[in-house]
A and B are shown apart, each in its own frame.
Chain A
Amino acid sequence: MQVQSMHFKARASEALADATLQANLHKFGSAGLAALRARAVVEYGAAEFEQLRDAAASIRDRGLDNLPALLERFEREATRRGATVLYARTGTEIRDLVLEIAARHGLKKAVKSKSMLSEEAALNDALQGAGVEPIETDLGEYIIQLAEEPPSHIIAPAVHKSKDEVSDLFVKFHATERKTDIPALTREAREVLRSHFLSADLGISGANFLIAETGTGAIVTNEGNGRMVTTLPRVHVSITGIEKVIPTLEDFATLMRVLTRSATGQPISNYVSVFTGPKGAGDADGPEHMYFILVDNGRTGLLGGEMQEMLRCIRCGACMNHCPVYKTVGGHSYGWVYPGPMGSVLTPSYVGLEKALDLPHAATLCNQCGVVCPVKIPLPDLLRTLREKQVDRGLRPPIERLALRAWAWAAQRPTVYALGTKFAARFLRMLGGGDRMVSHLPFAGGWTDGREFPSGPGRTFRELYAARKKR
């Protein structure tokens, strides 16, 4: 997928002006996943859930600290059970490997369950180009595939679409009578998808986790499509990031407890599919060939450095569900695969700092994300670290650098600072007029385009305090 993250501001602006999108986002924000998570945490016990977050974070840390050894173990165990383990450094290599597999087995139709890696690699375009028809089978992914849009949320990819928009799409593509209630729409999608499941010869999935001790991949879905994708077609390819490997099945169980609660508030998802190698002798179902493609695509760059904590991410989406910015501008504004706080850290880390300059700054650092993250990633701290890297690499606009330097210089010199603020206070007061509200700030129009600026009384605390002491 092309990186469009340089255009955050323009895209956010469009999103704010799009009334339908705003209505959809508003609905999502007020009745959405954040509330479900909150309820699940209360049911589980808030203190116990905190312990679980600690445990989950340390499992992920252990995995990352021993990544090479764990990957070897995973590869050994998976291979022993008949799967083929391949590695891809970049999105291009993912595409090449998948196309090679498709050519080798003569595959013509791919059913896919949700895979963010496939988005990173823009795999659908490549498949189509090579004559393999890709069909997204996660309902949300299916909807946006019809709409030819990228996902706007990592677990609810079509959350930006209203029911009406989905009805329109289905009428257009299914040539059926217009349905308006959600169960009927879902039923219609299931019927269409069923025939694809049965006729596909390739299944492409992601993997929420790779379990090293057994060479197993695991995916979590609510629609059961993942089960179909990983068992029905002749060939199954699971594409996932190298950082997803964890040591044991026990660890998997612990992580599952935080994952689904954080994502959708469920104690467990409707389906948890674990796949270990292809169909064996005596197995009733399963693919004839099973491949794992383990992808780097920027991840090793974070290992061992100050951004490593980000690799703990288990893709639950809680950070975006709680993000004031995400909830206001939606996922497409972020311009690449991953939106919200985790995306604002991942995108510049994976594709390059200079390709996503706005993202680390497009956050209020409110830490509503950090306190809900199931693996305790300090997202605001990481965003701040990225801001520091931008400064270190001279990537900030000169005018901003100049302003900051002038401010820092003055703030270290109390007499200069007092003089500067004395004039600033008077200037603001003058602009504020009778109601003490400034409607246009000359150097900070970004503020006054949408707000007044309360001007204050025109004298600083410092001055007033000194005057009072003299009295």
Chain B
Amino acid sequence: MRVGLFVTCLVDLVRPSVGFAALELLEAAGCDVTVPATQTCCGQPGYNSGDREAAKALARKVIAEFEGFDYVVAPSGSCSGTIKTHYPHLFDDDRGMRERAERLAAKTYELTDFLASVAKLARVPGRFDGTVTYHDSCAGLREMGVKAQPRALLAKVPGLAVKEMATPEQCCGFGGTFSVKFGEVSAAIADRKCDDVEASGADALVLGDVGCMLNIEGRLRRRGNRKTKVLHVAEVLAGRDGRSE
């Protein structure tokens, strides 16, 4: 299986360890992984800011970079969701591009979905001694159908137990540029997520999107919580603590 790893712009910039974790997991599942060197961003910031032209330009670039692989995998529900559920609509008026976008969409996966449903990863390399609570990021859950897959994989991690929070499907308030444009509202929504995370009593919050990670971890730390670890699901599965690059 030739897999193109779409690292995502946030992983590239602030959380490289997630990229390495994804790479290790895909290789552990027996995939032949390539990380196209020219990749940058899926275009979502432009798309969600109403800049359709910018979104289309970046979509064209991603399609060209990744259409040669059997699968495209991203450690993010949000970026894989953009490719899978939004790219085709960007080219409603361009049949040729639309078909290419649809073909790419059909083979694009969120990491845990791919590991659980396609690559059928049997053993995970990681180990985690403690309890974790899983936050369902919005795009992963509602665009990519990611819900059971990360939990099934986490169940394979030796030493780890999942303690669900009360409302794991509630949005954390990140919303991309929303988090800066409406910082106060965004932080207030994140606050409710932090309450929920802390009430679960788990040692770590685990999730599948770096955007939401930055938001929730940023709010937890500002509230003075230094204790609850915040980890990407790939890091936990690969046995990384988020600081090892």
Partner-B contacts on A (CB < 8 A): 9, 12-13, 16, 29, 324-325, 328-329, 361-368, 370-371, 384, 386-392, 396, 400, 404-405, 407-408, 410-412, 414, 417, 421, 424-425, 428, 435, 437, 444-457, 459-462, 464-466
Contacts and interface: CB of A to CB of B under 8 A. Distances in A.
A461 B16 CA distance: 4
21 contacts: A13-B184, A363-B175, A364-B171, A364-B178, A366-B175, A367-B142, A387-B48, A391-B49, A408-B58, A411-B58, A414-B40, A446-B179, A446-B180, A447-B183, A449-B184, A450-B186, A450-B222, A451-B218, A453-B218, A455-B14, A462-B37
A144 to B, nearest CB: 23
B13 A361 contact: no
A440 to B, nearest CB: 12
Interface stretch (B103-111, B114-122, B152-160, B187-195): B187-195
Chain A binding surface SS class: helix
Nearest to B216: A451
Contacts of B16: 456-457, 459-461, 464-465
Interface of B: 7, 9, 11-17, 19-20, 35, 37-41, 43, 45-54, 57-58, 61, 138, 142-143, 169-171, 173-190, 192, 213-215, 217-219, 221-222, 230, 243, 245
Given A460-B13, A462-B37, A384 B48 contact: yes
Nearest to A453: B218
B14 A451 contact: no
B180 A412 contact: no
Given A367-B143, A388-B50, A465-B19, A417 B40 contact: yes
B221 A452 contact: yes
- What 8 pairs across the A-B complex have the smallest Cβ distances? A450-B187, A364-B175, A446-B183, A387-B50, A456-B14, A451-B218, A408-B54, A366-B171
Contacts of A405: 54
B70 to A, nearest CB: 21
Given A364-B173, A404-B46, A407-B45, A449 B13 contact: no
Contact of B12 (A400, A451, A460): A460
Given A12-B184, A408-B57, A328 B189 contact: yes
A361 B179 contact: no
B103 to A, nearest CB: 22
A309 to B, nearest CB: 14
Contact of B49 (A404, A424, A451, A464): A404
Contact of A446 (B13, B61, B181): B181
A457 B49 CA distance: 28
Contacts of B19: 461, 465
A411 B43 contact: yes
Contact of B7 (A370, A456, A461): A461
Contacts of B189: 324-325, 328, 364
Contacts of A452: 217-219, 221-222
Nearest to B137: A366
A17 B20 CA distance: 42
A407 B46 contact: yes
Contacts of B48: 365, 384, 387
A457 B11 CA distance: 11
Contacts of B177: 361
Contact of A365 (B14, B39, B175, B213): B175
Contacts of B217: 452, 454
Contacts of A329: 185, 188
Given A29-B192, A410-B40, 20 more contacts: A16-B185, A328-B185, A329-B188, A361-B178, A361-B181, A362-B182, A364-B173, A364-B189, A365-B48, A366-B138, A392-B50, A407-B54, A411-B54, A428-B14, A452-B221, A454-B214, A459-B245, A461-B12, A465-B20, A466-B37
Nearest to A456: B14
Given A391-B51, A446-B180, A461-B7, A362 B185 contact: yes
A456 B171 contact: no
B58 A371 contact: no
A16 to B, nearest CB: 5
Given A325-B189, A465-B19, A411 B40 contact: yes
A407 B189 CA distance: 27
A89 B204 CA distance: 57
A365 B85 CA distance: 14
Nearest to A432: B14
A325 B218 CA distance: 19
Nearest to A460: B12
Nearest to B55: A408
Nearest to B191: A450
Contacts of B169: 368
Nearest to A455: B14
Q: Which of A13, A29, A371, A454 counts the most B-chain CB atoms under 10 A from its CB? A: A454
B219 A451 contact: yes
A370 B138 CA distance: 12
A447 B41 contact: no
B11 A461 contact: yes
A454 B14 contact: yes
A453 B214 contact: yes
A377 to B, nearest CB: 15
A391 B50 contact: yes
Contacts of A447: 179-180, 183, 218
A400 B222 contact: no
Contacts of B187: 449-451
A461 to B, nearest CB: 4
Contact of A384 (B11, B47, B188): B47
A362 B186 CA distance: 10
Contacts of B138: 364-368
Contacts of B221: 435, 437, 451-452, 454
A421 B7 CA distance: 14
Nearest to A441: B180
A454 B188 contact: no
Nearest to A439: B222
Contacts of A444: 180
